[in-house]
């Protein structure tokens, strides 16, 4: 028994050292990827704008001034004003907070629920696996925006409810990814050794299974943040997400539709903000995927 336990400990140490080396190699590949670094730069600027928005925004984002309505971009208002005279630049800067909040919270919800259900399905298999994965297939059969709208119809139009809806919509992707990883990892020798030594399922999952499934989860989380921001903007555009006067980019697009022909900047700049943000997360996510792929070599 002691010999078997010693072998398991040595195997665990060996795996941890190998894993550490793989992460270092992945980081080296990532920093050499100029496209990924460009995406990371966009994300960094977004985070800084969200943190420093009270200092960066030249005006109060929700303060109206009818005398200044629909002013073109100028030295006074760099990106112009909307139909209520609110400074568009200030609203976009404050909107970065909401976009990050939606992305992080909704993806965290999807990650927790998806990983939990995916681990249970992959580790235990059988009827539990069939039941969980068929439920995920049903959810994936619906277009994501339609499923989100259906959930919002039940919960009500509110930003916090939009986060819940987006989290539920993205849940199946995490469940399928973690399930496939668990199916592969649970067949490893060190998992069988841990079982023979009397380790319970929770210990095996937390200590041996999940740490070896992190790479695909990290990539999917990064890409899902971009999707979540886009979906939140879509819900707000339809009036189901952030409610006025919240400076959310999708809501700004919706409010600016009536003024599109006479003041195109009201719609153009929030749309550009969404595009650049989603582009940044997608570029960084693609770079992460390449860096964490063991088949990728310099």
What is the SS3 string spanning 197-263? CCCCHHHHHHHHHHHHHHHHHHHHHHHHHHHHHHHHHHHHHCCCCCCCCCCCHHHHHHHCHHHCCCC
Q: What are the beta bridge partners of residue 87?
A: 81
Structure tokens given for 218:
């990290």
DSSP class of 77: S
Q: Could you read off the pLDDT of 46-63 as tens digits, one per residue?
A: 999 999 999 999 999 999
pTM for this entry: 0.86
Interatomic CA distance for residues 7 and 190, integer angstroms: 9
Average pLDDT, the chain: 86
Q: What are the beta bridge partners of residue 81?
A: 87
Which residues have CB under 8 Å from 245's CB, separation 6+? 62, 86
Is the Cβ–Cβ distance between 174 and 139 less than 8 Å? Answer: no
Q: Could you read off the pLDDT of 130-172 as tens digits, one per residue?
A: 999 999 999 999 888 889 999 998 988 889 999 999 999 999 9
Q: Could you read off the pLDDT of 28-47 as tens digits, one per residue?
A: 888 888 999 999 999 999 99
Query: What are the chain's domains?
Result: 89-298 (1.10.3720.10)
Interatomic CA distance for residues 226 and 32, integer angstroms: 23
Is the Cβ–Cβ distance between 170 and 188 less than 8 Å? Answer: no
Q: Which of 3-12, 13-22, 182-191, 233-242 has the highest mean pLDDT?
A: 233-242
Structure tokens given for 161:
């409810």
Q: What is the pLDDT of residue 192?
A: 77
DSSP class of 8: H
Q: What is the pLDDT of residue 3?
A: 56
Interatomic CA distance for residues 50 and 21, integer angstroms: 34
Which residues have CB under 8 Å from 46's CB, separation 6+? 96, 99, 100, 277, 280
């Amino acid at each position: 028994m002691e010999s078997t336990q010693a072998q398991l400990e040595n195997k665990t140490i060996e795996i941890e050292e190998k894993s550490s080396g793989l992460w270092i190699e992945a980081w080296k590949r990532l920093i050499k990827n100029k496209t990924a670094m460009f995406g990371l730069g966009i994300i960094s600027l977004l985070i800084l704008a969200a943190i420093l928005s009270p200092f960066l925004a030249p005006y109060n984002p929700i303060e109206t001034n009818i005398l200044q309505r629909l002013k073109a971009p100028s030295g006074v208002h760099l990106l112009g004003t909307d139909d209520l005279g609110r400074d568009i630049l200030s609203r976009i800067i404050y909107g970065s907070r909401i976009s990050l909040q939606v992305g992080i919270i909704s993806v965290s919800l999807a990650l927790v629920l998806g990983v939990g259900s995916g681990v249970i399905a992959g580790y235990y298999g059988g009827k539990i696996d069939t039941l969980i994965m068929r439920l995920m297939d049903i959810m994936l059969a619906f277009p994501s925006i339609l499923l989100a709208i259906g959930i919002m119809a039940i919960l009500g139009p509110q930003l916090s409810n939009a986060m819940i809806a987006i989290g539920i919509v993205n849940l199946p992707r995490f469940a399928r990814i973690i399930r496939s990883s668990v199916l592969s990892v649970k067949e490893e020798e060190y998992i069988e050794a841990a079982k023979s030594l009397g380790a319970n399922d929770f210990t095996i999952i937390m200590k041996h299974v999940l740490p070896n499934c992190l790479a695909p989860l990290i990539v999917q989380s990064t890409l899902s943040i971009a999707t979540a921001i886009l979906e939140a903007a879509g819900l707000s555009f339809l009036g189901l997400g952030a409610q006025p006067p919240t400076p959310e980019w999708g809501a700004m697009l919706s409010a600016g539709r009536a003024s599109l022909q006479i003041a195109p900047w009201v719609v153009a700049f929030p749309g550009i903000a969404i595009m650049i943000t989603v582009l940044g997360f997608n570029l960084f996510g693609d770079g992460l995927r390449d860096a964490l792929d063991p088949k990728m070599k310099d």
